[in-house]
Amino acid sequence: MSETVSSTTSKPPSQEPGHPQRVRDSLAVSMKDSVASSVMTGTVDQFLNAFAIFLRATSVQIGWLTGIPQLLGGLFQILSVWLGGYWPRRGLIVCGAALQTLSLLGLFCLALPFPWPEGSRVPLLIGCAIVYHGASNLTQPQWKALMGNLVPPRLRGRYFSIRSRLAMATSFFAFLAGGLLLNGSASMSLETLGFAALFMIAVFGRGLSTRYLHQMYDPYLPDHSQGRGLAHTLRSMKRSFADSRFRRFTLFLAGMQCMVALSAPFFAVYMLRDLQFTYLQFTLNTAASILVQFVLLRYWGRIADRKGNRYVMALAATVIPVLPVLWVFSDNLLYLMGVQMLGGAAWAGFTLATSNYLYDLKPDDSQFAGYAAMQSTIGATAVFVGAISGGYLISWVPDAVVIGDWQWPIERPIWVIFIVSGVLRAIVALWYLPKAPELRVKHRGRVRDLVFRVSRFTPISGVVFDVINARRKK
């Protein structure tokens, strides 16, 4: 979940003399950046866990690979908001993108068949993932603030709609191409070179994106007098948590993210290690969920306009607890793709409704950044706890349950995590949704008119997007 572009800064710093042509050139360059950065997203985000499995990472290490970058990523967003009061936005954006490029270069080196010390590559992979996600979170708040200033309000919907479609298509087809590349290399027993080629493509995409970001124009100069200490930023976030409605919603969302993270990082383990899926089968299975999310996002917007965001949250939350349990009943590829499509439909509605519900909880733009930062930080902590717990629980599941003379063998220990995750998701939903208020902000505009930017793919909930224009001015 992410905040809107318009809400990242409440008061712009000192403005330079206007340069309309430079603004137009920057918007054109940003279109190119969307394609280049989406090549990186499509070839990395869903394949990190697959690479860890190839390196023979344990379930505990898979949990750390998912949990630690998420936790530190939330902290980097807070750091970004604080640094934005002192450093030029474009400089922070370019530095973050360059740092992310270096992390991808590290992944490329890890994939090469060097004589690495025994057991060293998985910890190094986790380190690269921390830098990768940390750099992304360092960049995001500043990028949203910059684009909010560059794109004229009357063109914002059209511009971001085109940009988002480009990013969606590029990410999706890059993901499919990456799966084909890995599948082909594995069939020739050149799997390590397949991963190396995949990460080098990502290096090229992010490197080109960094160049485009450097060419963009920032119409505002930093006003150092507006810089606030980190303690002030943290106090502002703490004040936002005093709002009881926001606090309950944040705890609900964090609880759901925690219970989802208990099992989500291990579906790749289940497919590639337990079911022995090929990389092509793994890619098609994952792509089914992503494609459905893209297609159904607008339809969920129409339902939210008629019924409200709480209705959509409740409807999606009745499906989300069932999803991991459905994986237990069959290992047929077509069946599991059907489960993934059902999951994509549910997550599209849940992500849309919770993103907009957060905005409706605090419609005041001047305070929204603190609310969104607090929600992101608590959510990241919850994902960390869930992913780490899931990894350890899988390692602790016995081969059989013995009660007296009766013995029930556990065919696949990972099934226990799927069932536990489903039950805990249902408990979290039942705790919050029956008493959740329906919020209607009349001047927000229709949900179906919102514009979304695909931020990245994650093993937690598939597509992660940002709301671009969360409210339409009268």
Residue spans per domain, the chain: 20-220+243-467
pLDDT one-digit tens code per residue, 213-245: 999 888 766 555 555 555 666 666 666 666 778
pLDDT of residue 236: 64
Q: Return the minimum-mean-pLDDT range out of 8-12, 112-116, 227-231, 369-373.
A: 8-12
Given pLDDT bands bounded at 50, 70 and 90, which one contains residue 446? low
Q: Return the minimum-mean-pLDDT range out of 194-198, 203-207, 328-332, 458-462.
A: 458-462
Given pLDDT bands bounded at 50, 70 and 90, which one contains residue 2? very low
Tell me what the mean pLDDT of segment 53-66 comes to: 92
pLDDT of residue 263: 92
> In this model, does residue 75 exceed pLDDT 90?
no
Tell me what the mean pLDDT of segment 191-206 comes to: 95
pLDDT of residue 467: 53
CA distance 190 to 205: 23
Given pLDDT bands bounded at 50, 70 and 90, which one contains residue 368? low
Given pLDDT bands bounded at 50, 70 and 90, which one contains residue 469? very low
Tell me what the mean pLDDT of segment 275-291 comes to: 92
Given pLDDT bands bounded at 50, 70 and 90, which one contains residue 167? confident
Q: Which of 184-198, 371-385, 395-409 has the highest mean pLDDT?
A: 184-198
Residue of 156 and 383 predicted with greater confidence: 383
For domain 20-220+243-467, say whether CATH 2.60.40.1080 is its number.
Answer: no
pLDDT of residue 15: 45
Spatial contact of 311 and 438, defined as CB atoms under 8 Å apart:
yes
* pTM assigned to the model: 0.82
pLDDT exceeding 70 applies to what percent of the chain?
78
pLDDT one-digit tens code per residue, 338-349: 999 999 999 988
Given pLDDT bands bounded at 50, 70 and 90, which one contains residue 107? very high
pLDDT of residue 99: 94
Q: How high is the mean pLDDT of the chain?
A: 81
Given pLDDT bands bounded at 50, 70 and 90, which one contains residue 309? confident
> In this model, does residue 74 exceed pLDDT 80?
no
